């Protein structure tokens, strides 16, 4: 890991300079993006890099318009596993082969759920921390620098206190939003047909799909559990089959104690 001192503006400026020297006629926007990508890749070599799917959609949608194509784009983006992703791509290609090729050109491994790393336990592809934070400080940004920073600091301080107080009152194992997501999966679990293979491994039939669940590895072949850390409906049907509680199988990072 590179030392934190390399995060200084002078170091970042050197990254920009090297790019400009190698390709002097590059557009400024592209230079900025490449320099930042290189900088992040150098400082955080082991962290996953994701692209923002909504920006890619906005660019792609300029050439390929229509509600039908829009729906197919998002179906492919939101597929959790390769089988669903390939099906979505086939449907898109049947409709418009050029649109499919253009779609592939955006490097799917950086913004499709089917390719995302399962270690981070986050399936977000349409938003990111920076956008959320920008929305949060949008009113403060109109002010003078010092007043803006002071307002952001005091708002964040109040927010942290409020969130802490809310969670202290909350008497369940999971955070409220996570609990709501889990409840939706529990409802779908009633539609799953579960068959045990070993004490912890199961085959689950759900509509036309057949999936393998491993409760010990906290994994399902649909990849939703692996990617989000929240048991999918297939896994919950197996958990109930074993007379256990779904809450105990949620990743530790979502628990109130953590
Ligand atoms: Zn599943």
Three-state SS at 134: helix
Q: What percent of the chain has pLDDT over 70?
A: 88
Q: Over the stretch 10-22, which tens digit does the pLDDT of each residue have? A: 776 776 677 667 7
pLDDT of residue 134: 81
CA of 159 to the centre of ligand 1 (A): 35
pLDDT of residue 39: 74
| Most confident of the following: 30-44, 68-82, 101-115, 128-142 | 68-82
Q: Over the stretch 215-251, which tens digit does the pLDDT of each residue have? A: 999 999 999 999 999 999 999 999 999 999 999 999 9
CA 45 to chain CA mean position, Å: 19
CA of 212 to the centre of ligand 1 (A): 8
Which is more confidently placed, 238 or 29?
238
Tokens 């090729």 identify what position?
101
Integer Cα distance of 74 and 63 in angstroms = 16
Can you list the alpha helix ranges (DSSP code H) found in 174-247? 176-189, 224-228, 233-241
CA of 174 to the centre of ligand 1 (A): 20
**210 and 68 Cβ atoms separated by less than 8 Å:** no
| Most confident of the following: 24-33, 36-45, 94-103 | 94-103
Q: Over the stretch 185-202, which tens digit does the pLDDT of each residue have? A: 999 999 999 999 998 999
Mean pLDDT calculated for residue range 22-35: 68
Integer Cα distance of 249 and 247 in angstroms = 5
Mean pLDDT calculated for residue range 20-30: 68
Tokens 């099906």 identify what position?
87
CA of 108 to the centre of ligand 1 (A): 22
Which is more confidently placed, 123 or 161?
161
Give residues whose Cβ lies within 5 Å of ion ligand 1: 220, 222, 232, 234
pLDDT of residue 1: 40
Q: Which strand (E) or helix (H) includes residue 147?
A: helix 145-169
Integer Cα distance of 246 and 58 in angstroms = 38
pLDDT of residue 239: 95
CA of 228 to the centre of ligand 1 (A): 11
pLDDT of residue 255: 83
Q: How confident is the model at residue 9 (pLDDT cuts 50, 70, 90)?
A: low
Q: Which residues is 204 bridged to in the sheet?
A: 194, 211
Domain boundaries defined on the chain: 4-43, 53-115, 138-169, 176-254
CA of 231 to the centre of ligand 1 (A): 7
pLDDT of residue 222: 94
Task: Sort 121 into a burial class: Cβ within 10 Å, 0-12 / 13-18 / 19+.
Answer: middle
CA of 183 to the centre of ligand 1 (A): 15
Q: Over the stretch 86-131, which tens digit does the pLDDT of each residue have? A: 898 888 888 888 888 888 788 777 778 888 888 888 888 876 666 7
Mean of the per-residue pLDDT values of the chain: 84
CA of 254 to the centre of ligand 1 (A): 19
CA of 225 to the centre of ligand 1 (A): 6
CA of 20 to the centre of ligand 1 (A): 47
Tokens 């036309």 identify what position?
208
């Amino acid at each position: 890991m590179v030392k934190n001192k390399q995060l200084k503006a002078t170091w970042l400026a050197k990254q920009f300079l090297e790019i400009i020297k190698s390709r002097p006629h590059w557009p400024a926007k592209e230079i900025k993006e490449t320099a930042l990508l290189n900088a992040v890749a150098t400082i955080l070599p082991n962290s996953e890099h994701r692209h923002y799917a909504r920006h890619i959609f906005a660019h792609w949608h300029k050439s390929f318009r229509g509600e039908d194509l829009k729906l197919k784009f998002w179906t492919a983006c939101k597929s959790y596993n390769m089988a669903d992703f390939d099906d979505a791509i086939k449907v898109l290609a049947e409709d418009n082969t050029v649109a499919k090729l253009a779609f592939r050109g955006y490097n799917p491994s950086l913004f499709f759920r089917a390719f995302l790393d399962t270690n981070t336990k986050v399936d977000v592809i349409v938003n990111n921390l920076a956008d959320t934070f920008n929305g949060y400080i949008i009113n403060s940004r109109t002010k003078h620098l010092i007043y803006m920073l002071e307002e952001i600091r005091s708002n964040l301080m109040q927010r942290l206190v409020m969130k802490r107080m809310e969670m202290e009152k909350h008497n369940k194992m999971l955070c409220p939003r996570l609990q709501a997501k889990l409840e939706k999966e529990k409802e779908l679990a009633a539609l799953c047909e579960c068959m045990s293979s070993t004490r912890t491994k199961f085959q689950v039939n759900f509509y036309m799909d057949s999936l393998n669940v491993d409760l010990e590895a906290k994994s399902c072949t649909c990849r939703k559990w692996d990617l989000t850390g929240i048991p999918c409906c297939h896994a919950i049907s197996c958990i109930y089959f074993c007379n256990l509680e779904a809450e105990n199988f949620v990743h530790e990072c979502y628990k109130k104690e953590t």
